[in-house]
């Protein structure tokens, strides 16, 4: 076989599928994995695609198998392993070659890696990839950060392997430096919020309405035909309908209620706070995963407090179901408004000039949060240009006006019933705070001035002022 066009390190879930995707799209690829037996197993299982794949047992072999200038994708665990692979690649690559980190890197690490590679002659790209195993194999959403020129050098391969939405590729250059990994991080933050709000609605259906998994699955399947149409709603319906092969019981009932997390949700929240952007639904989703991990404490607390006060939902069931659908939709709007506000602030802070309509468009297919809603969102950004907040786009004002009364009823009834809805409640509080022209921070300012002489602004005169308590705090 002629030399490969590209190399890939890391044949785990994502790397192996990306490699097959690249090969299937007609690009010969050289592959390497730390545990070499995995490379052999991968190659054996590649079937007809073997003719497009060069399995390598050392990085020197990998470098030698690729036609210069050599692009090499690193798809390993984020963090130290990426630094180790970059250091090892520097020994075997030469000027003009391109290192592409395609894992879920912290964008601050990506920025550091750009500066560490500066002057080395090597080009670096930090690239977010979403879509899980299936996306990697058949078309992920690809978010590229680096110079536009370096993107151009690998654009053909990335476009070929990406998901397509009505023929449009879901891969794009988004900005310099850490832009691609930042956008992927916020994608995941939104993913956390989407998943948490779906889980909260599942909780209301299970504990508030007493429904069984298959019935709940049918509700989600029905919702998937409407405004909530999305990959996450679709898989929720599928998961709820599935039975455990060992016990024959619904599989969800056999799964421990303790959610894992690898860091991107937490990074979203840290960056939102650092940038001074309110992202309460995402914060609540990360916190909910943290609380979920305290299984033993939660069991002890249930024993201490009992479940007294936890009651069923009342009222007409069809009406409650309709409210739940709209509540989830309203919560989704608030979470996306927050995620895009965080990206807007980061774009300004880091000078990325992030293209919001493009981001919404490349998330319409391939990625975990793909949905019909993202098309509406892309339209809103295209029509409105720069938006202070998605909640101010005319189409979203209309949608939120219709949906927020349902969110209010569901959050209120869930609170009465003793059912936790942290992300939905936070989304509602965010919306109510955002649309409240006269808030309550005047009192906070008065308190701050009282105890710390911090001063406050007056509504009727410019400048800094102190209250009549000055000197007495």
Positions that interact with ligand NDP (CB under 6 A): 10-15, 33-35, 38, 75-78, 81, 84-85, 103-104, 129-130, 132, 262
338 binds ligand 5RP (CB under 6 A): no
In this chain, which of 143, 368, 414, 424 binds ligand 5RP, going by CB under 6 A?
368
Q: Is 311 in the site for ligand 5RP (CB under 6 A)?
A: no
Residue 191 falls in the annotated catalytic set: yes
- Give the H or E element holding residue 128: strand 123-130
Taking alpha carbons only, the member of 19, 32, 57, 251 closest to residue 140 is 19
Q: Which residues of 238-252 are buried (b: 16+ CB within 10 A; e: fewer)?
A: ebbbeeeeeeeebbb
Task: For residue 15, say whether it is annotated as part of any ligand binding site.
Answer: yes
How is residue 206 annotated by DSSP? I
d(CA 190, CA 141): 15
Which of 17, 33, 104, 280 is in the footprint of ligand 5RP by CB under 6 A?
104
Q: How far apart are the C-alpha atoms of 290 and 14, rounded to whole Å?
A: 26
Q: How many chain residues touch ligand 5RP (CB under 6 A)?
A: 11
Q: State the residue for tokens 């639904």.
A: 281
Q: Which of 5, 101, 191, 200 binds ligand 5RP (CB under 6 A)?
A: 191
Which tokens go with 248? 């024959």
Q: Is residue 361 among the annotated active site residues? A: no
Say if residues 159 and 362 touch (Cβ distance below 8 Å).
Answer: no
Exactly one of 5, 191, 271, 325 is catalytic; which is it?
191
Q: Where does residue 329 rank: exposed (0-12), middle (13-18), buried (19+ CB within 10 A)?
A: buried
Residue 191 binds: one of ligand NDP, ligand 5RP, none (C-beta under 5 to 8 A by kind): ligand 5RP
> How many whole angstroms separate alpha carbon 404 and alpha carbon 431?
9
Decide if residue 51 touches ligand 5RP (CB under 6 A): no
Is residue 99 within 8 Å of residue 9, measured between CB atoms?
no
Query: Annotation-wise, does 12 bind a ligand?
Result: yes
Nearer to ligand 5RP, 46 or 129 (CB): 129
Told to check if 380 binds ligand 5RP by CB under 6 A, we report: no
> Does 260 belong to an annotated binding site?
no
Please tell me whether 138 is known to bind a ligand.
Answer: no
Selection from ligand 5RP, ligand NDP, none that 84 binds (CB < 5 to 8 A by kind) is ligand NDP
Q: Which residues carry out catalysis?
A: 184, 191
Binding-site annotation, residues for NADP(+): 10-15, 33-35, 76-78, 104
């Amino acid at each position: 076989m002629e030399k490969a066009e590209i190399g890939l390190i890391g044949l785990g879930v994502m790397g192996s599928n990306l490699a097959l995707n690249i090969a299937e799209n007609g690009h010969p690829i050289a592959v390497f994995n730390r545990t070499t037996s995995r490379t052999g197993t991968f190659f054996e299982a590649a079937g007809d695609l073997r003719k497009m794949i060069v399995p390598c047992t050392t990085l020197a072999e990998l470098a030698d198998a690729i036609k210069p200038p050599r692009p090499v994708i690193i798809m390993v665990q984020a963090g130290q392993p990426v630094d180790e692979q970059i250091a090892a690649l520097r020994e075997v690559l030469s000027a003009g070659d391109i290192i592409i980190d395609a894992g879920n890197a912290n964008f601050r690490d990506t920025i550091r890696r750009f500066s560490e590679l500066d002057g080395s002659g090597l080009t670096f790209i930090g690239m977010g990839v979403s879509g899980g195993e299936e996306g990697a194999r058949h078309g992920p959403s690809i978010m590229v950060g680096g110079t536009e020129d370096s993107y151009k050098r690998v654009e053909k391969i990335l476009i070929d392997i990406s998901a397509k939405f009505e023929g449009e590729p879901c891969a794009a250059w988004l900005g310099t430096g850490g832009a691609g990994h930042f956008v992927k991080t916020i994608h995941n933050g939104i993913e956390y919020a989407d998943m948490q709000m779906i889980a909260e609605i599942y909780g209301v259906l299970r504990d508030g309405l007493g429904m069984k998994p298959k019935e709940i699955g049918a509700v989600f399947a029905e919702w998937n035909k409407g405004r909530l149409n999305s990959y996450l709603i679709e898989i929720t319906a599928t998961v709820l309908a599935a039975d455990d092969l060992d016990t024959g019981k619904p599989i969800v009932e056999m799964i421990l209620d303790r959610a894992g997390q690898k860091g991107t949700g937490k990074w979203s929240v840290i960056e939102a706070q650092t940038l001074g952007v309110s992202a309460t639904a995402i914060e609540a989703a990360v916190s909910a995963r943290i609380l979920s991990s305290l299984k033993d404490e939660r069991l002890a607390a249930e024993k201490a407090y009992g479940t007294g006060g936890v009651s069923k939902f009342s009222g007409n069931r069809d009406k409650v179901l309709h409210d739940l659908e709209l509540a989830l939709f309203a919560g989704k709007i608030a979470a996306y408004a927050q995620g895009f506000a965080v990206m807007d602030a980061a774009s300004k802070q880091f000078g990325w000039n992030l293209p919001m309509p493009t981001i919404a468009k490349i998330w319409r297919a391939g990625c975990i949060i793909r949905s019909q809603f993202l098309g509406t969102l892309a339209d809103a950004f295209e029509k409105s240009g720069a938006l202070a907040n998605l909640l101010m786009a005319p189409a979203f004002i209309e949608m939120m006006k219709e949906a927020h009364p349902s969110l209010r009823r569901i959050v209120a009834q869930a609170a009465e019933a003793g059912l936790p809805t942290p992300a939905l409640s936070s989304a509602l509080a965010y919306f109510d705070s955002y649309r409240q022209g006269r808030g309550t921070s005047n009192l906070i300012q008065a308190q701050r001035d009282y105890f710390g002489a911090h001063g406050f602004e007056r509504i009727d005169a410019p400048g800094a002022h102190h209250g009549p308590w000055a000197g007495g705090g």
